[in-house]
Amino acid sequence: MKRGTVAAALGAALVTGAMAWANVCPMCLQAIPDTEKYCVRHKAEQIAKVNAAAEEKKLMAELVQARKDYLARLEKLRVFYSDRGNADCLRRVQKEAADFGRIEPFSPALWETQLPDLSAVENSAEANQLLAEGNELRGGSNPFTRSSRYAAAAAKYRQVLENHPKSTATSSAAWGLGEIYSSSSYKEYARAVRFYDMCYVINPETEHDALYRAAQVTESELHDYETAARYYWLAAKMGRNPLVREHAATRLRGLQKNGFGAAFSLETRGTDPVTPGNVEVPATEKK
C-alpha cells in the first residue's frame, strides 16, 4: 500500500518532472525548479535580508571600534593633564570617562538577524545533543524553574543555529525558540513568529505545526489578520497533520468572513495570490 503510494507519487513526479520543477517555494507554494529554494520574488527577499544583516554587522563593528578609539583618546588626554598636574582638567576628563561608562551601549538584541544561511542537510551529533538538552530543559515540568530553564534551553537552541547552521537539528531548534518566545515567560510574539517561520522554511516537511502556531500567534497576539490568513493558508495546504490542516482552513474561512485574506483561496489550484503558480492541491486535502 505504502509502496504503491510512493510509486504513484514518483510516477506523477516523472510526468511533471521533465523540466525538473520538483520543488515549491515555502513562502507561496509556487512551483520552482528543483535547483532553487525559493521563487524569484522570495529569493530576492531572502537575498535582501542577508545583505541587510551583513550591512548591520559592518556598521556595528565600526561603532564598536569607534567606542574603543574614543576611550583611547580620552585616556591620552587624562595622562596629559595628569603629567602636568592640571587637577581641574583632569577631574573633568575623568568625569567624561565615568559618564561614558554609565551609558548602555547599543547592540542588536536580535541575534537571529545575524545567522548564517540555515539548511537541514547534515546530521551532526553535537547539534543533536544540544537540541536534546534544549528540549529536556524546555520540557521540564517544574513551573517554579520555568524562566531559568527556558533561558538555558534558548541558549542551547541558539548554539545549534549559530554553530551548526547546516544540521538537521536546526528546524526543531527554531521550533523550540518559537515555543519559548511565545510563552508567558517571554511574550515576544513577533520574534516567536519569526522562529516558527524559520522552522518551516528550513524544513517544509517538519513534524511541528510551525505554520499553524505562526498563524495563531499572529492572529491572537499580533492582531495582524492579513498575515495570519497567509499562515493559515500555508498551514491548510502544507501541514503534516490532517486535523491541524482542517483547523487552519476553518480559521482562514473565519478571517475571510471578516474581510481578511480574501486572496488566499483553498479551493483553486495555483494558489499564490501575488505570483500565481501551478501547484496541485494534494488529493488527500480534498476529502
Taking the least distance from each CB to Zn ion, the nearer of 42 and 149 is 42
Closest by CA to 285, choosing from 265, 262, 263, 255, is: 265
Taking the least distance from each CB to Zn ion, the nearer of 140 and 277 is 277
Taking the least distance from each CB to Zn ion, the nearer of 50 and 66 is 50
Cα distances (angstroms) measured from residue 21 to each of 111, 237, 278 = 35, 18, 10
Closest by CA to 237, choosing from 175, 174, 283, is: 283
Taking the least distance from each CB to Zn ion, the nearer of 30 and 216 is 30
Q: To which H or E segment does residue 3 belong?
A: helix 2-16
Interatomic CA distance for residues 21 and 36, integer angstroms: 9
The minimum distance between CB 155 and Zn ion, in angstroms, equals 33
Interatomic CA distance for residues 64 and 68, integer angstroms: 6
Taking the least distance from each CB to Zn ion, the nearer of 42 and 156 is 42
Q: What share of the chain is helix, strand, coil (3-state, %, to 5)?
A: 65, 0, 30
Interatomic CA distance for residues 51 and 36, integer angstroms: 19
Interatomic CA distance for residues 86 and 91, integer angstroms: 9
Closest by CA to 172, choosing from 217, 142, 145, 139, is: 139
The minimum distance between CB 27 and Zn ion, in angstroms, equals 4
Cβ distance 33 to 21 under 8 Å?
Answer: yes
Taking the least distance from each CB to Zn ion, the nearer of 23 and 185 is 23
Residues that bind Zn ion (CB under 5 A): 25, 27-28, 39, 42
Tell me the residue ranges of DSSP E strands in 17-125: 23-24, 31-32
Taking the least distance from each CB to Zn ion, the nearer of 177 and 215 is 215
The minimum distance between CB 13 and Zn ion, in angstroms, equals 20
